[in-house]
């Protein structure tokens, strides 16, 4: 089977096929005496599956699981796919939660916040599903302004800070400009949440799109496993 035929079928370049080979995400490719690669139907199945999984899972993930498949560790690869979907579901929940707490009084009415007024950076990071370094970066950029404990000098975040962090992480799913994020937060401070709600809904639509792409990719993964089992 020629690489040009596979590339044409998948609407990619032959150099892309060679990249996948160099990444170690397809089985070893034998060569003819003249140096030309000998692709088999197994290789074709791998290439097809890679292309189908790429939109929903991304290149880094593909580079993680396909060496597992090649080595025969199918179960580990399946668990990695499962973890990826769990992560996506958690992201969906956080975006929906962001939309819910856009109204300023909602967060304060949630039981776990009623008896606590300040939170550490670690608590806030865990709550919002972001890294502490991301929070420090947003603070450096002036998007949030946590107070400092007068004795320990540790940051002390309020409920309003948590709300802002949820908003920032959601807005940045669709908008990469910090100036836009800053503008959104300024509107939120004025209790104008229309723009933020629209952006959050777009972020939710993006998560739904990724979900659909993941299901297409998983279907292709099943086909690959069926091919390998024959």
Strands 147-148 and 155-156: antiparallel
* CB neighbour class for 7 (10 Å; exposed up to 12, middle 13-18, buried from 19): middle
Give the residue extent of every domain in the chain. Answer: 3-72+213-229, 103-192
In CATH terms, the fold of domain 103-192 is: Multidrug-efflux Transporter Regulator; Chain: A; Domain 2 (1.10.1660)
Residue matched to tokens 């009623």: 114
pLDDT of residue 143: 92
pLDDT of residue 106: 85
Q: Are 169 and 95 in contact (CB under 8 A)?
A: no
Domain 3-72+213-229 part of CATH 3.30.980.10: no
pLDDT of residue 115: 79
**What is this structure's pTM?**
0.85
Q: Which helix (H) or strand (E) holds 148?
A: strand 147-148
Domain 3-72+213-229 matches domain 103-192 at the CATH topology level: yes
pLDDT of residue 109: 83
Q: Are 224 and 45 in contact (CB under 8 A)?
A: yes
User: What are residue 156's DSSP bridge partners?
Assistant: 147
Q: How far apart are the first and last CA of the chain?
A: 19
Residue ranges for the chain with pLDDT beneath 70: 176
């Amino acid at each position: 089977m020629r690489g040009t035929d596979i590339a044409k079928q998948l609407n990619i370049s032959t150099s892309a096929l060679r990249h996948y080979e160099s990444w170690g995400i397809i089985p070893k490719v034998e060569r003819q005496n003249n140096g030309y690669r000998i692709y088999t139907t197994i290789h074709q199945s791998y290439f097809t599956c890679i292309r189908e999984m790429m939109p929903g899972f991304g290149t880094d993930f593909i580079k993680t699981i396909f060496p597992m498949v090649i080595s025969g560790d199918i179960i580990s690869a399946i668990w990695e796919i499962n973890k990826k979907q769990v992560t996506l579901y958690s992201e969906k929940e956080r975006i929906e939660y962001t939309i819910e707490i856009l109204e300023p009084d909602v967060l304060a009415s949630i039981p776990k916040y009623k008896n606590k007024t300040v939170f550490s950076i670690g608590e806030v990071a865990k709550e919002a599903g972001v890294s502490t370094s991301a929070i420090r970066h947003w603070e450096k950029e002036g998007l949030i302004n946590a107070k400092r404990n007068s004795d320990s000098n540790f940051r002390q975040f309020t409920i309003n800070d948590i709300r802002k962090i949820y908003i920032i992480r959601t807005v940045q799913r669709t908008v990469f400009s910090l100036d836009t994020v800053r503008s959104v937060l300024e509107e939120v401070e004025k209790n104008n949440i229309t723009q933020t709600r629209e952006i959050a809904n777009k972020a939710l639509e993006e998560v739904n799109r990724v979900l659909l792409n993941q299901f297409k990719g998983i279907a292709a993964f099943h086909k690959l496993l069926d091919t390998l089992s024959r």
